[in-house]
Structure 1
Amino acid sequence: MTIRLKIMLFTTVTLLAMVVLVTLLSAYNIRAQGDARIAAYRGEALEQIKNHLTDLVEVAYQTIDSNYQNLSKVEFLSNYYRKRLSDILDSGDAIIKRYKERVARGTISLEEAQFAAKEEIKTLRFDGGTGYIWINDTGQPFPRMVMHPTVPTLDGKILDSRKFNNALGREKNLFQAFVDVTRESPDGYVDYLWPKPTQDGVTDEMVPKLSYVRRHNDWGWILGTGIYIDDAEEDIKQRIITTVKGMRYDNGTGYFWINDNTLPYPTMIMHPTLPELDGTVLDDPKFNNALGVDQNLFQAFAEVTAANDSGFVDYLWPKPTPNGLSERTEKISYVKLHKPTGWIIGSGAYIDNISQTVAVQQSKIEQQVRQLIKRNIMASFVFMMFVVAVAYVLSSSFSKPIQHLTLVAEQISKGKDLDLKIAETSRSDEIGELARSIERLKTSTKIMLNRLKAASKK
């Protein structure tokens, strides 16, 4: 292999190696910078979504909590149930009015009318049997029970037992409270403790109750009915569920659901887009899609709220669209436990748009890398042609003198052309030094040959 070829080959290989190295380093830097930008974007986007979800769920939580706290507010309950309880007493009033009219017409005595009225009122039932009307009189200092449909042993008795000193917030006899509250006004409310009717009688324990009472002065009667707070609680819960079910955001695609915190598998209380889940124990294997842990996602909700009251879980879930639900899509949800009800309130955001944006950015990065490689190949080809041409010229300036010197040396070795001029002796580089050495060799050879010729003639 000639020196010229070696020089050109070395130059080409070195240049190619440099181009490849620079291209690889540039591609690596582009990808590294792109990955850093993508990671920063993903982190910022997720953080914005998490903050947004936290704010939204907090609004739903406050809606639930404020409504639930109303259970302890007599004013709220009295206003909320005013018409319902008033309508119940209206039915008792209608019976009394009918018998009063008969007394006025003289077809029945007052005693007969009162007896018949209380017997008829005794049979009235409301709210699945737990609602009823009782009658006590306005006697002082303690009233007398005229009729109680669920505790008939009280009928006719003076209500002075200490067990009746349970009017909440008043610490006094609840029947005295009925008389007091209707003294200035014909009706009013009193909250207290009382046994709750059951299919087998009444409960042994005393249950919180709110009663609405109305006075009939001409008969000296007070009619009363009430709502048990646990019944009110279920009523309020249904109201809360209806309210939360109707809450929407993000053009109707955002919603809230409620499940309980039972473990190992919670029960769905309300899901606005999948109502078929309501009341269902959420143990179906299709829910084993909590990303990163591959566990039941509702179980994950219960566990994260048991540990910290609230938290985030990412998973897969169908996405609402104008045409219905899509295939399961990446989603992250924020959940918070409402301890008084044992409800977990949650809302989520689909993060497939983040993944789509990341995919677009990754595609752009790969496109930049391909364009870089393409540009480098084109630039390196042009540059390589230039460098090869320069290398060819430079190598020629080395190889041609060496070839000439090689020819001269060969002629000297044969004793020929000893008068041949060596032009390269004027060069100042290593070739010039070699040429001058050959020139000296040529001169020495020429002298030696002349001596040999002279000696042979003697």
Structure 2
Amino acid sequence: MKIRTKIVFLVISVITFYIIASLVFTIYNIDINGQLEIEEFEKTEKRKIDKNLESFVELAYSVIETNHKNATDKKYLEYYYGRQLNDVMDVVNNVLKDKYLSFKKGKLSKQLAQQQVINFVKNMRYDNGNGYFWIFNNQKPFPKMIVEPIAPELDGKILDNKNFNNALGTNANPFVVSVAMCDTSGEGYVDYSWYRPSVTDEVLKEESKFSYVRLFKEWNWILGTGIYLEDATKDAMEKTKEDIRQMRYNNGLGYYWINDDKKPTPMLIMNPLWEAGEGKIHTDKKFNCANNSDQNLYQAFLEACERRGSGTVEYVWDKPIKGGETVENAPKSSFVKYFRPFGWIIGSGVYIDDIDKTITAKKDIMEVKKKDMIINSILISVPLGTISILFLIWMMNKHFRETSENREDEIESTINKDEKLLLYGDENKKQSNSKKTEEDLSTNFILKTFIKEQSKLLAFNKIVENATQNSSSNAIEEISKDIKEMTKLLREEIKTINKSKLDNFK
């Protein structure tokens, strides 16, 4: 392979490598930037969804907080339970009035009339047995218990036990406080701790209680009945479930559900779209779909709440669509929050398959851009590379030609002088050399041909030497060594021819 061809091949290889490398680098950047753009889009969209879900869940959470607060707020209890307690109190009060009138009319003795009232109170129950009545008198400084159905050991006792001192969140005696209220307004509300009725023989436990008391002045008796705050809390929970069951957002598509915090698998408490599943623990395999694993969905809700009190859980679920059909295993994201006083986890979710569709569309667009970039790069790079190679070849030919001609003229001028000296330097020998004219002409032709080729090689050798000084390329150094070796051989050949010519002249 000629040296010039080697150089052209080397240049073509370098340009081709540059084009391919640039194309690969461009495609790589498109892929990386596209992937980063898609990831950022996905994160941004999910953050928006999580933020919206959190806002909606906070609305439902505020309902739970309000109802729970009301269950322990005295003014709310008076408003919400006051009428109920007042109505049931009227029942006993009417019996009491009736017995008092029988006594006044002489139909019953006072003792018998009062005993009949006491017997009635002992057996009177409401609210599934949790509601009952008691009677104590209004004597001072401490009243005496007339009848206490769930603590009969107190009947006839003076209510001065210091253990009773827990009314109104202070150390006040609730019976003394009740007497003071009735003396002032004939009735009132008082909160304190008292024993809860038991259907078994178990030891009674004290619970917070909110009671309504009313004075029956004719006998100086005070009637009492109340509601345990735990029952008020249960009522608040029931009310909350029904309130949240009716709540909707996003044109009726958004809803809420509630599960408890029991381990290992929480129980579903309320789901307006799946009432058949309420009150059950769901451990079927279809619920093992949370967080891209086989984790149970309700366990994942609990785990998210245990870590931070709230959180987002991603899973797959069947998505209902128009026409009564469903899309199986559609991606969904839910935000859940823990309400510890009730032991509830309230949550709401939204399907995020639209995000996946958008991401797929973006990936398709990115692929089209990548193909367009490849085609455009080829259309631009190939012509530019071809033009660059042609221009390089033209420049090389021009430079080689000019250098070769200059070198040839220089060498030929020097040789011509030597020829004239050898051929015509002695006029006396002119005749003797005439016989060898034809031979000399042949020799001169051969000599000039070698000189011409030598000049070209020498000129090219000079160019390569210059290139070698400015480049560390192994390929150019190898070419330079070949040229030097060829030049050396040609010089030796010319010397041999010149020497032969001189011998002939001699």
Q: Aligned ranges for residues 22-41 of structure 1 at < 5 Å?
A: 22-41=22-41
Q: Aligned ranges for residues 402-417 of structure 1 at < 5 Å?
A: none
1:89 aligned counterpart, secondary structure:
helix
Residues 75 and 67 (structure 1 numbering): CA distance in 2 closer, same or farther, change over 3 Å? same
- Tell me the distance in 1 between the aligned counterparts of 2:95 and 2:318: 57
- Tell me the distance in 1 between the aligned counterparts of 2:371 and 2:392: 30
Amino acid in the other structure paired with 1:354: I
Counterpart for residue 95 of structure 1? 95
Alpha-carbon shift at residue 162 of structure 1 (Å): 0.7
Contact 2:182 2:188 in 1 (8 A): yes
Contact 1:182 1:214 in 2 (8 A): yes
Alpha-carbon shift at residue 368 of structure 1 (Å): 0.5
Q: Aligned ranges for residues 35-434 of structure 1 at < 5 Å?
A: 35-99=35-99, 106=105, 108-109=107-108, 111=110, 112-155=112-155, 157-162=156-161, 165-169=164-168, 170-200=170-200, 203-292=203-292, 294-319=294-319, 321=321, 323=324, 326-379=327-380
- Tell me the distance in 2 between the aligned counterparts of 1:267 and 1:128: 25
- Tell me the distance in 2 between the aligned counterparts of 1:101 and 1:233: 40
- Tell me the distance in 2 between the aligned counterparts of 1:309 and 1:11: 67
Aligned length: 440
Contact 1:95 1:121 in 2 (8 A): no
Contact 2:313 2:335 in 1 (8 A): yes
- Tell me the distance in 2 between the aligned counterparts of 1:264 and 1:28: 48
Alpha-carbon shift at residue 135 of structure 1 (Å): 2.6
Segment of structure 1 superposing worse, 87-96 or 16-25:
16-25
Segment of structure 1 superposing worse, 379-388 or 252-261:
379-388
- Tell me the distance in 2 between the aligned counterparts of 1:27 and 1:240: 57
Contact 1:142 1:158 in 2 (8 A): no
Q: Which protein has the bigger helix share?
A: 2
Q: Deviations over 1:122-156 (max 9, x none)?
A: 4322111121222333333433434333344444x
Gaps of 5+ in 2: 400-441, 462-486
Alpha-carbon shift at residue 284 of structure 1 (Å): 2.8
1:197 aligned counterpart, secondary structure:
coil
Segment of structure 1 superposing worse, 256-265 or 126-135:
256-265
Contact 2:167 2:173 in 1 (8 A): no
Counterpart for residue 405 of structure 1? none
Residues 368 and 433 (structure 1 numbering): CA distance in 2 closer, same or farther, change over 3 Å? closer
- Tell me the distance in 2 between the aligned counterparts of 1:146 and 1:153: 11
Residues 100 and 393 (structure 1 numbering): CA distance in 2 closer, same or farther, change over 3 Å? same
* Higher alpha-carbon Rg: 2
Contact 1:197 1:203 in 2 (8 A): no
- Tell me the distance in 2 between the aligned counterparts of 1:324 and 1:117: 65
- Tell me the distance in 2 between the aligned counterparts of 1:202 and 1:81: 28
Q: Deviations over 1:15-63 (max 9, x none)?
A: 6555443332221121122112222222333333344444444444343
Alpha-carbon shift at residue 366 of structure 1 (Å): 0.5
- Tell me the distance in 2 between the aligned counterparts of 1:108 and 1:325: 76
Q: Deviations over 1:221-257 (max 9, x none)?
A: 3222111122122111212222333333333333333
Residues 270 and 67 (structure 1 numbering): CA distance in 2 closer, same or farther, change over 3 Å? same
Q: Deviations over 1:378-404 (max 9, x none)?
A: 556666887898899999999xxxxxx
Amino acid in the other structure paired with 1:260: D
- Tell me the distance in 1 between the aligned counterparts of 2:85 and 2:276: 34
Residues 85 and 68 (structure 1 numbering): CA distance in 2 closer, same or farther, change over 3 Å? same
Amino acid in the other structure paired with 2:164: N
- Tell me the distance in 2 between the aligned counterparts of 1:321 and 1:368: 34
Residues 340 and 433 (structure 1 numbering): CA distance in 2 closer, same or farther, change over 3 Å? closer
Residues 50 and 221 (structure 1 numbering): CA distance in 2 closer, same or farther, change over 3 Å? same
Residues 139 and 164 (structure 1 numbering): CA distance in 2 closer, same or farther, change over 3 Å? farther
Q: Deviations over 1:336-374 (max 9, x none)?
A: 333333323333443333322222211111010112223
Segment of structure 1 superposing worse, 250-259 or 320-329:
320-329
Contact 1:192 1:210 in 2 (8 A): yes
- Tell me the distance in 2 between the aligned counterparts of 1:127 and 1:139: 31
Gaps of 5+ in 1: 399-414
RMSD value, Cα:
4.6
Contact 1:268 1:280 in 2 (8 A): yes
2:86 aligned counterpart, secondary structure:
helix
Amino acid in the other structure paired with 2:159: D
Counterpart for residue 401 of structure 1? none
- Tell me the distance in 2 between the aligned counterparts of 1:325 and 1:154: 65
Give the TM-score, by structure 1 length.
Answer: 0.76
Contact 1:130 1:197 in 2 (8 A): yes
- Tell me the distance in 1 between the aligned counterparts of 2:118 and 2:220: 13
- Tell me the distance in 2 between the aligned counterparts of 1:231 and 1:101: 36
- Tell me the distance in 2 between the aligned counterparts of 1:109 and 1:247: 58
Residues 108 and 222 (structure 1 numbering): CA distance in 2 closer, same or farther, change over 3 Å? same
- Tell me the distance in 2 between the aligned counterparts of 1:2 and 1:394: 17
Alpha-carbon shift at residue 82 of structure 1 (Å): 1.3
Segment of structure 1 superposing worse, 122-131 or 359-368:
122-131
- Tell me the distance in 1 between the aligned counterparts of 2:54 and 2:143: 55
Contact 2:142 2:160 in 1 (8 A): no
Identity %: 32
Residues 196 and 24 (structure 1 numbering): CA distance in 2 closer, same or farther, change over 3 Å? same
- Tell me the distance in 1 between the aligned counterparts of 2:141 and 2:239: 41
- Tell me the distance in 1 between the aligned counterparts of 2:289 and 2:135: 59
Contact 1:4 1:396 in 2 (8 A): no
Amino acid in the other structure paired with 1:353: D
Counterpart for residue 409 of structure 1? none
Contact 1:12 1:388 in 2 (8 A): yes
- Tell me the distance in 1 between the aligned counterparts of 2:359 and 2:124: 68
- Tell me the distance in 2 between the aligned counterparts of 1:172 and 1:386: 105
1:127 aligned counterpart, secondary structure:
coil
Q: Which structure has more RCO (C-alpha within 8 Å, separation ≥ 6)?
A: 1
